[in-house]
Amino acid sequence: MRAQVGIIGGGPSGLLLAQLLDRAGISSVVLERRTREHVLGRIRAGVLEQGAVALLREAGVAERLDREAEVHGGVAIAHGDRLHRIDLAALAGHGVTLYGQTEVTRDLYDARGAMGGAVIHEAEDVAIHGADTDAPWLTWREGGEARRLDCDFIAGCDGFHGVSRRSIPAARLAEFERVYPFGWLGVLSRTPPAAEELIYARHVEGFALCSMRSRSLSRYYVQVPLSDRVADWPDERFWEVLSRHLPPEVAAALVTGPSIEKSIAPLRSYVAEPMRWGRLFLAGDAAHIVPPTGAKGLNLAASDIRYLSDALIGFYRGGDEVGLAAYSDRALARVWKAERFSWWMTSLLHRFPETGAFGARMQEAELDYLFASRAAQTVLAENYVGLPY
């Protein structure tokens, strides 16, 4: 089996890259360890930057997004009994788009199928060979049989626990990580959202977030210790704690209901450098993780795919290797800015027991400054809506 580009990972990163390459006449095969149903069953973020939306339109997969998504011109931060709105549109020139990652993935799957593109699911024991040569190849097992794909380049879009990053020699890779001492308990419910726009809450008990997937599907989070289990959080307890984190008028209007999905996600910041080894290129969570506070995970993956697809298309159209050589540095420049913003938002809004009373007062002073300073709000807005590609 042969394709110009072998793509490991059938999530939004891998599928978006395949779609952009196929539209440019570049053949690719996507290998995914899980079933399509499993991939589409993942509950993920839903805040898209303008650059990500533009890339989805360029890929020809934004018809449903343009019809169903909501554009939010602001975001609110709850502190104490007050709700402070950051006017993203006025401060940064535009807002953000609310459209779930699951829906993005579904649209990409539909487009891949319409174009007859190859997505091989349940590809087990994927291995990378010859990445540091001019003729790399992939092997895997499919239905118990050994398979092989010869290709020119390999794109590792298989997430933090995938094989791609682990295939780079340890001596060639620098890793930077911070693991946070808490997680997010997330609940999905068929209830109307708590507000017209997202609410980030900083409370003495910890962080909370009121988000949404649609006008009838809401996503809520509260900060929990890493020692907690989902079983420790029946719905009644979750709604009670969430309500305490919100200003009284928001809590009074909160519509509760049975959870249809509940999970705890640990938080970490992580970057691997470089994002290229030979003809293997890392993209998305395979190369970097951000805490979800800044809504950057999917958006960083999109910017990686922007740079990588441009580089590959430039190579096949004119033999230009400049984009390939610059890919890692170009992607990492944007990655580290997003890491900084996500770290700052996390540090600002969560309860860090180890920092004590002094740390709590520093958070309060930072928030007071933010709410009083248009310049500080502009910095937040510019980063939240997404820095230019």
CATH of the domain at 143: 3.50.50.60
Question: Is residue 329 situated within a structural domain?
Answer: yes
Tokens in use for 58? 């360029």
Q: Is 318 helix (H, G, I), strand (E, B) or coil?
A: helix
The predicted structure's pLDDT at residue 213: 86
Distance between CA 99 and CA 97 in Å, rounded?
6
Two tokens at 25? Answer: 């006449």
Task: Enumerate the β-bridge partners of residue 272.
Answer: 175
Residue 221 annotated among the catalytic residues of the structure: no
Same domain, 235 and 216: yes
- Residues 40, 152, single domain; the answer is yes
pLDDT-derived band at 47 (thresholds 50, 70, 90) equals very high
Catalytic residue among 12, 72, 193, 291: 72
Selecting among 79, 193, 292, 350, the annotated active-site residue is 292
Task: Dig out the tokens for 81 from the structure.
Answer: 């009994």
Distance in angstroms (rounded) separating the CA atoms of residues 238 and 233: 6
**pLDDT at residue 287 above 80?**
yes
Residues 272 and 261 in one domain: no
The reply to whether 44 and 106 lie within a common domain is yes
- The answer on 239 and 191 residing in a single domain is yes
Is 99 one of the annotated active-site residues of the chain?
Answer: no
What's the pLDDT at 80? 86
| In-domain check, residue 79 | no
| DSSP per-residue letters across 274-290 | -SEETTEEE-GGGTEE-
Active site includes 270? Answer: no
pLDDT in tens, 214-270: 889 999 999 999 999 999 999 999 999 999 999 999 999 999 999 999 999 999 999
Domain count, the chain: 2
Q: 119 and 187, same structural domain? A: no
Quick one: 244 and 293 in the same domain? Answer: no
**What are the distances in angstroms from CA 287 to CA 28, 247, 255?**
21, 38, 39
pTM score of the predicted model: 0.95
Asked if 384 is an active-site residue, the reply is yes
**Catalytic residue (choose from 99, 109, 200, 327):** 200
Residues 361 and 278 reside in one and the same domain: no
pLDDT score of 278 more than 80: yes
Q: Do the domain assignments include residue 76? A: no
Task: Based on the residue annotation, tell me whether 72 is a catalytic residue of this protein.
Answer: yes
pLDDT at 266: 96
Q: Which domain holds residue 135?
A: 5-71+97-177+268-346
Residue 207 sits in a domain whose CATH number is 3.30.9.10
Q: What is the 3-state secondary structure (H, E, C) of 197-254?
A: CCEEEEECCEEEEEEEEECCEEEEEEEEECCCCHHHCCHHHHHHHHHHHCCHHHHHHC
Q: What is the pLDDT of residues 338-367, one digit of tens each?
A: 999 999 999 999 999 899 999 999 999 999
> What is the predicted pLDDT for the residue at 214?
86
Closest CA to 17 of 363, 282, 377: 282
**Whether residue 21 is found in the same domain as residue 66:** yes
